[in-house]
Amino acid sequence: MMDIPASVKELIRHAIEEDLGFGDVTSSLIIPDDSVSRALFIAKGNFVLSGFPFAREVFYILDQSVSFNIFNAEGAPVRRGDVLGEVSGKTRSILAGERTSLNILQRLSGIATTTAQYVDAVAGTKAKILDTRKTTPCHRFMEKYSVRMGGGVNHRYGLFDGILIKDNHIEAVGGIKKAVALAKTGHHLARIEVEVENLKELEEALETKADIIMLDNMSIQDMTEAVRLVNSRVALEASGNVNLANVREIAETGVDMISVGALTHSITSADISLKIVR
């Protein structure tokens, strides 16, 4: 299993507390304290699996005596009816963690599945599918993990680990050239990426010798021309209003990367159940 950061473990603790509160009143009345059970995670649809390390952590936090087995690899495609894993131990502990673990597993599998759809859509081109910072607050580690499980590539994690000069930076300092020049004054090893909205700004950005240029909300025609003008001198990233209907056409312009906010902000969770078996 992966090493889960302390901050994510604490987040999972809060999620458990949110659901469990002062205790599971139903189970405490119905389920004997010494009852033990085995429960199976079952796929109720076709999707790409992601999130078991975090789903397991739910039960580990609740009861370290619970046993947890996983039958499918993270990032593996699964089919409706597949048994994905099992948890066994005190019945009360299983029921206490059921909903929180499923919520995590279903959402993260949904992200991996959506990512895989985008990756498949651009297969055969050189374009890589990237995520963004448009994540659920405090869930970024788990959500970006699931993008990787779906075959995507993580963009910068946050504001601290990558230089991306966007429109508001440019407006605030008075131009692309000035913004990039200021970014180069710092003692850092980070690549400098700058956002442009049209071909005129692209030409200006090229003069700055930035490492990456982001083509923001450009038309297919302009992106195609941008690729021709750049001629592999700098990496190009396409961004803005990307969806499954147009991502292939964007990739075929010849851009190197396509960032897709929808990977984390507009997904449908996978359908998974946890069933106690005798």
Amino acid at position 44, single letter? K
260 domain-assigned = yes
Identify the CATH number of the domain in which residue 252 sits.
Answer: 3.20.20.70
Please indicate whether residue 166 is annotated as part of the active site.
yes
Half-sphere exposure of 74 (CA within 13 A, CB side): 19
91 shares a domain with 49: yes
**Which range marks the domain in which residue 261 is found?**
124-265
232 near 254, Cβ under 8 Å?
A: no
Please indicate whether residue 134 is annotated as part of the active site.
yes
130 shares a domain with 256: yes
Q: Of these residues, 74, 143, 193, 216, which one is catalytic?
A: 216
Half-sphere exposure of 68 (CA within 13 A, CB side): 22
Identify the CATH number of the domain in which residue 38 sits.
Answer: 3.90.1170.20
Amino acid at position 159, single letter? L
Please indicate whether residue 144 is annotated as part of the active site.
no
Provide the 3-class DSSP secondary structure of residue 207. Answer: helix
Q: Tell me, what's the pLDDT at 188?
A: 82
224 shares a domain with 188: yes
Please indicate whether residue 216 is annotated as part of the active site.
yes
112 shares a domain with 212: no
173 shares a domain with 114: no
Q: Tell me, what's the pLDDT at 40?
A: 98
187 shares a domain with 147: yes
10 domain-assigned = yes
10-residue mean pLDDT series, the chain (278 residues): 92 98 97 97 98 98 97 98 98 98 98 98 98 97 98 97 96 97 89 97 97 98 98 97 98 98 97 96
Q: Of these residues, 38, 148, 166, 248, which one is catalytic?
A: 166
What total number of domains does the chain contain? 2
The C-alpha atoms of residue 215 and residue 257 are separated, in whole angstroms, by: 10
Two tokens at 134?
Answer: 């448009």
Please indicate whether residue 126 is annotated as part of the active site.
no
CA atoms 184, 187, 193, 195: torsion sign: negative
212 near 191, Cβ under 8 Å?
A: yes
Two tokens at 242?
Answer: 């990307």
Q: Tell me, what's the pLDDT at 1?
A: 64
Q: Of these residues, 13, 38, 99, 128, which one is catalytic?
A: 99
1 domain-assigned = no
Residue 101, phi then psi, degrees to nearest 5: -65, -40
